[in-house]
Structure 1
């Protein structure tokens, strides 16, 4: 295990050095003053060519070593074996769409979304640590659609971990919802709440800090942690696939590249930022937003203002977020703990903060951002399909941004965050030209078959659906009740209590 003098961890709202090891921060993500654990000073690799010669899992080990993240070797090795269950031996294939534009496909895991890239090894690692420590854990996750399925999948049937998922009722696609509500493992519980993802995320954070709730869990033999990207271990695993991009591009004698990332909670983009600090030749990190354009507002104006904003349900629901947790870690990396604490407390108390002109200029040296409407999202899916590549609605935002940036004459990589089948009705609408409102009576299973018919009649491809997606429609929904968010602590305690009796 990691020793205290090896840790590189810092706290986003405190200058007090933390004596927590990485494992301790992973198991208990609460930092001082309501902040987050993050990486302190990062030393770049001296020899990237050596790193590029390694396999995906070996690269992960090297990155963890460079960041002073030390686990018992057999625990990490066992966790990384979860990638053997991915649908592609390449784990994260880099696909050329056309000259100077590539797509990094992060959806080949068991739940067909990029959250598998971190949550499959994370869940196995945490489960192994719980077994080693002879402790039991309750793991919370809040989801806008993809974190929940990946968390539940990863912890299903664990003997030492119970996992709970909180999701906004009506705020996910049908496939995303079914991936959660049909879970039948006895150690899993799903809570659909009345509200949006921001409420789900704030509920999770309040539960982590709720002393009465934590005391009840301890009385019943459970420690509390979280699977969301408030957990620094999630971010650590998300750094790795950016090295996969650089490794594959190096085979084509390409070095510097820009990444275009569909983002709402900013964890995916933060992984790219830390990869840049580790030495990757990333020229720009470009954030593609949907109609919930808070990140675009922030990176273009320096203002983070949600006072007059209401969260909108869009065609790319996993990005329907206004309170982006991981912006806090970016602020710390650039401006330090005191300024981060000042800005985040302003956001929490006033729903607003404002960077100085110099601070904004500093961010804009690396970051760009642009938002796209739902209508544009459909057009992006259609245009990508016409070029021979099929994408989901989230990736469409990145694709559109990349097309706008083509005149910059640089190698661009869009981050494809989900398989198109998870958003069948939206994709079918884009490819068929039918109004989404006219498809309300159509379920996703029918839409999937219609998409496949379009694909096979228009593309020279062998695109097939994994039977897992189609089988989801035959499973019984178990977790169907809806809840008020402010009552979840009571319902969770009842669930834990019933399990103990």
Structure 2
């Protein structure tokens, strides 16, 4: 399997090179040169697999010959061994045709663990074979940072620096990052929004001498390996509900578009996914695009669901590339114009292609609290704000003919205890392994939204560890 850039001006690479590169040199995102496809008989044969074995089977075509299948299987089994539920990603039924898939049973209580526990081990495997070292830089709106740090802390061949927007994450989210004291970990709070953090990461990758000197890599969903490792849980849910002999739909609370893109990728591989519902909060650029072809940036507003407080959804570029029939020149100019003008112009036929699969939904904070309260009152289910938006989006776009809708439960309610308690009267406790989180010492640096200051922090981290 080879990978090409959505902007067409970077050389094709194999999976291992894409894993280490993260962002393409031309500013684009790597995508498979061709999409693997499974026939109905292939899907049926996967029904009996455990989650780790299913994950390895789904990822194998994307990995190709870069990593032996026996090694990939071992990596997946190791990655999910410590999850807090034997099913890894269990389904919970909420209504006749409405389910959640709980993706928060990993070490940091969020769906990012599903991919990043695999990613950390993939880095270890490839870097050990190459006798190399990388510096990972990442931006987080709340959950990616802690999951990435958990996956990479203490690893011999990786330094990791995570940017988060200062005072714009929940206290639990922040502390899960800033109380990890491994020598190869650094946390920086940026005086700005998540989009500012994400722009700083992209600017570091665009600074070619800095990128080469620091051997930069990425764990955000701009890294294709993240997307590949998220596809399996959509497959697991669909198979459990009767696929390939029954259609299924997914409702995904969405910020950076990576999670729902993984669902689209499963569909592209032949899984019978009839509908993808995108749930947004007040930062509703994706919903405005899907409903009205209005992809225009507005200021980011803080909300009860901070992981979705985003206006520039990086992974949308991968979908745009496909909607434009893989025309890299049009993709590049469209994305450049979007960043220059703040508005993306998408021709109506292209927009309608997106509308054929995707549906948008927006929910404000009062509506989110009302949905959290309803879920608890109706079926005793405690949902975090992001999951509640996903469930409300599913209710707003019901399927006909008994097609089940699965909402991705992206975070444990204890990650947002104040919002959950305000909505339901219940203060969800942290699991025992995190019970002392608020007693641990925090370590992070507050920096301005300035590239030179952040690059200096990266140099300091990498230089300290490379000289040790």
Could you say whether these structures have the same fold, taking a TM-score greater than 0.5 normalized by the shorter chain as the test? Answer: yes
Q: Answer whether contact 1:273 1:285 (CA < 8 A) is retained.
A: yes
The aligned residue for residue 39 of structure 1 is: 32
Counterparts of 2:125 and 2:70, CA distance in 1:
10
The aligned residue for residue 14 of structure 2 is: 21
Counterparts of 1:272 and 1:236, CA distance in 2:
10
1:112 Cα deviation from its structure 2 partner: 0.2
> Cα gap change, 1:216/1:23 in structure 2, threshold over 3 Å: closer, same or farther?
closer
The aligned residue for residue 347 of structure 2 is: 356
The aligned residue for residue 284 of structure 2 is: 293
Counterparts of 2:212 and 2:55, CA distance in 1:
36
Using structure 2 for the length normalisation, give the TM-score: 0.94
Q: Answer whether contact 2:163 2:189 (CA < 8 A) is retained.
A: yes
Counterparts of 1:426 and 1:64, CA distance in 2:
36
- Is 2:443 aligned against 1:451? no
Deviates more, 1:479-488 or 1:385-394: 479-488
The aligned residue for residue 69 of structure 2 is: 73
- Is 2:307 aligned against 1:318? yes
1:51 Cα deviation from its structure 2 partner: 1.9
Correspondence for 1:490 among 437, 456, 468: 456
Higher-Rg member (1/2): 1
- Is 2:423 aligned against 1:474? no
Q: Structure 1 stretches of 5 or more lacking a match?
A: 1-6, 218-222, 433-449, 453-463
The aligned residue for residue 417 of structure 2 is: 424
1:256 Cα deviation from its structure 2 partner: 0.8
Counterparts of 2:68 and 2:231, CA distance in 1:
20
Q: Answer whether contact 1:262 1:395 (CA < 8 A) is retained.
A: yes
- SS at 1:139's partner residue? strand
> Cα gap change, 1:368/1:20 in structure 2, threshold over 3 Å: closer, same or farther?
same
1:190 Cα deviation from its structure 2 partner: 0.5
1:17 Cα deviation from its structure 2 partner: 8.6
Correspondence for 2:4 among 2, 10, 23: 10
- SS at 1:52's partner residue? coil
Give me the CA root mean square deviation. 1.8
> Cα gap change, 1:157/1:269 in structure 2, threshold over 3 Å: closer, same or farther?
same
Q: Answer whether contact 1:8 1:68 (CA < 8 A) is retained.
A: no
The aligned residue for residue 191 of structure 1 is: 188
Counterparts of 1:131 and 1:407, CA distance in 2:
48
Q: How far does the alpha carbon of each residue in 1:448-478 deviate from its partner, in whole angstroms, 9 at most, with x for none?
A: xx525xxxxxxxxxxx741123221121112
Deviates more, 1:131-140 or 1:167-176: 131-140
Q: How far does the alpha carbon of each residue in 1:401-455 deviate from its partner, in whole angstroms, 9 at most, with x for none?
A: 12223474531111100000000001111113xxxxxxxxxxxxxxxxx525xxx
Deviates more, 1:207-216 or 1:295-304: 207-216
Q: How far does the alpha carbon of each residue in 1:115-140 deviate from its partner, in whole angstroms, 9 at most, with x for none?
A: 00000110111022112211111111
The aligned residue for residue 440 of structure 1 is: none
1:67 Cα deviation from its structure 2 partner: 3.5
> Cα gap change, 1:430/1:485 in structure 2, threshold over 3 Å: closer, same or farther?
farther
Q: How far does the alpha carbon of each residue in 1:192-236 deviate from its partner, in whole angstroms, 9 at most, with x for none?
A: 11000000001011111213323542xxxxx21000011100000
- Is 2:388 aligned against 1:396? yes
Counterparts of 1:191 and 1:265, CA distance in 2:
20
- SS at 2:22's partner residue? coil
1:152 Cα deviation from its structure 2 partner: 0.4
Counterparts of 1:180 and 1:295, CA distance in 2:
28
Q: Answer whether contact 2:247 2:274 (CA < 8 A) is retained.
A: yes
Counterparts of 2:413 and 2:50, CA distance in 1:
27
> Cα gap change, 1:17/1:210 in structure 2, threshold over 3 Å: closer, same or farther?
closer
> Cα gap change, 1:10/1:407 in structure 2, threshold over 3 Å: closer, same or farther?
closer
Q: How far does the alpha carbon of each residue in 1:109-165 deviate from its partner, in whole angstroms, 9 at most, with x for none?
A: 000000000001101110221122111111111100000000000111111111111
Counterparts of 1:78 and 1:157, CA distance in 2:
20
Counterparts of 2:395 and 2:234, CA distance in 1:
21
1:69 Cα deviation from its structure 2 partner: 3.1
Q: Answer whether contact 1:87 1:109 (CA < 8 A) is retained.
A: yes
Counterparts of 1:275 and 1:176, CA distance in 2:
29
> Cα gap change, 1:481/1:362 in structure 2, threshold over 3 Å: closer, same or farther?
closer
> Cα gap change, 1:77/1:410 in structure 2, threshold over 3 Å: closer, same or farther?
closer
The aligned residue for residue 329 of structure 1 is: 318
Counterparts of 1:313 and 1:416, CA distance in 2:
21
- Is 2:57 aligned against 1:62? yes
> Cα gap change, 1:344/1:135 in structure 2, threshold over 3 Å: closer, same or farther?
same
1:493 Cα deviation from its structure 2 partner: 1.3
Counterparts of 1:43 and 1:492, CA distance in 2:
37
